[in-house]
Every structure is written in C-alpha cells, then in structure tokens.
Amino acid sequence: MDNKKLFFIILLVLIIFAVFSNITSKYFIPKQLETINKLYGPESFITVDNKSLGNQYNLTYGELTGSGMEQIVKYLKSKNICPSSKTFIDLGCGNGKTLAYGLVYGFKQAQGAEIVEARYAFAEKKRSQLEERMRERVQLTKSDIFNLPKNYFPTGSVVFVSNLLFPEETNQKLINFLSEVTPADVIIIVSKIPNNLYKLKLIEKIDVPMSWATNSKCYVLGHQSHK
C-alpha cells in the first residue's frame, strides 16, 4: 500500500473515532445519567442529625450533580489528564451516586468511603443494582475518612471531598491527613480550604455544580513535592 492510501485510511479512522466519541458524549452520557438518577431516586437524599457523631463531624447532606462531575472531568481534560487512567475517590460519598457518575464520565475505577451507616447501606444496595460493568468498578467502604490507610489511595487518583460544612478544625485535620496519606501525584478537589495547606498547594479554583448551587467554588490541590 502506498503512503497516500495509508494516510487516507488513518484519516478516515480518526474521523470515525471523533464522530463516534461525539455521539457517545452527546447521546449516551445523558442517557446513562438519567438511568442513574432514576435508580437512586429521591429517597437517596438521606438526612440525619448533623451532630449525631459529635462536634468534630458535620453530617449535612448535599450532592455533586451529574454536571458537577462533567465540570471536574472537563477540568482534568483541559490539563491533559485522562480520567480513564485515574481512580475517582469520594471521601464522604453519601449514597454513592458520585461514583456512578465518575464511571459514566470515564474514570477507570471509583471508590467511596462514608461514615453514616444509612447512607453507606443505601450506597451498597444501589451499587448491587448497577449494571455489571459498573458495579465491578465501584468499591465502597464504611469508614471515617481519617481511618483510611495509605494503601486505600492508588497512585493516579482524583480525590473529591465535599467538606464545605465540615468544622474548621476538621478541615485542617483533613488537609494534614491528605498531605500525609495520599500519593504525590494525586489531584485533590475540595469545596473548602483552611489557611494552612500543610504539604499541599493550591493549583486552581473551579466552579462545580452541586445540588445547592450551580457554581459552587471548589479548590484543586496537589502535593507541593509534585511538579
């Protein structure tokens, strides 16, 4: 085959791939989000007494939306970070819906930890009802964030924490904890930061749609040691 023919075949394959990816994101993603929102339903918004575990916790509920996940993935792609090579980790994952969203938007795996039994149990129940190829890639842990071991965090992960209402000292504890336990290349997205970022640095502020606001501020953090 001459070079000209080969060039046109490669071009054709690239065009088909681009058209297919476009169709996938325009049609299949909204369809999958609809299925997930239907599966989890309004009963997934589980409220509990916010102070039931003591003053160092705040168990107020609010959610990252499907478009919130889309924003996170758009941000990563704008930095040439491909979600398909990353594990999405939600610390305080509530009903676990963010993990399903993460997979819809192309993350390789999704992990979540949740301290409230009712939310964790609901997340497990819904995980078992996800289609097999998603179910197998979601891992849930009933745990206090601060009890998670170092090996919970794979290299190449994106950690998300919706900590807007966590008490001040808990947010400082969270930053210190993530500084110590997460790998150098981890990307951390939190909704609130304390003054002292310890071993982390602020990379950027981004707007992320949440259930309470369409443009909630989030802070992207990385390890100071990471270039």
Ligand X SMILES: C[S@@+](CC[C@H](N)C(=O)[O-])C[C@H]1O[C@@H](n2cnc3c(N)ncnc32)[C@H](O)[C@@H]1O
Instruction: Give the whole-angstrom CA distance, residue 208 versus residue 204.
Output: 12
Contact segment (CB under 6 A) with ligand X among 7-15, 52-60, 176-184, 217-225 equals 52-60
Contact segment (CB under 6 A) with ligand X among 27-35, 86-94, 151-159, 181-189 equals 86-94
- The two tokens of residue 96 are 């676990």
Is 89 a binder of ligand X (CB under 6 A)? no
Residue nearest to ligand X (CB): 92
Contact 134, 100 (CB under 8 A): yes
Instruction: Give the whole-angstrom CA distance, residue 23 versus residue 227.
Output: 35
Helices (H), 49-110: 66-78, 97-104
Residue 227 Cβ, how far from ligand X at the closest point, in Å? 29
Instruction: Give the whole-angstrom CA distance, residue 121 versus residue 101.
Output: 18
Angle at 221 between CA 91 and CA 156, to 5 degrees: 65
Q: Under rule CB under 6 A, which residues in 149-208 are in contact with ligand X?
A: 162
Is 145 a binder of ligand X (CB under 6 A)? yes
Contact segment (CB under 6 A) with ligand X among 18-26, 53-61, 72-80, 200-208 equals 53-61
Is 102 a binder of ligand X (CB under 6 A)? no
Is 98 a binder of ligand X (CB under 6 A)? yes
- Interface pick for ligand X out of 72, 76, 100, 113 (rule CB under 6 A): 113
How many residues interact with ligand X (rule CB under 6 A)? 21
Is 57 a binder of ligand X (CB under 6 A)? yes
Instruction: Give the whole-angstrom CA distance, residue 16 versus residue 31.
Output: 22
Give the pairing type, strands 213-223 and 187-190. antiparallel
- Interface pick for ligand X out of 32, 33, 36, 61 (rule CB under 6 A): 61
Is 36 a binder of ligand X (CB under 6 A)? no
Is 94 a binder of ligand X (CB under 6 A)? yes
Residue 203 Cβ, how far from ligand X at the closest point, in Å? 20
Angle at 157 between CA 207 and CA 149, to 5 degrees: 115
Contact segment (CB under 6 A) with ligand X among 3-11, 70-78, 111-119, 218-226 equals 111-119
Instruction: Kindly give the interhelix angle for 117-129 and 97-104, rounded to the nearest 10 degrees.
Output: 40
166 burial type by CB count under 10 A (0-12 exposed, 13-18 middle, 19+ buried):
buried
Is 70 a binder of ligand X (CB under 6 A)? no
Q: Provide the 10 A C-beta neighbour count for residue 14.
A: 10
Which residues make up the interface to ligand X (CB under 6 A)?
A: 57, 59-64, 90, 92-94, 98, 113-116, 119, 144-146, 162
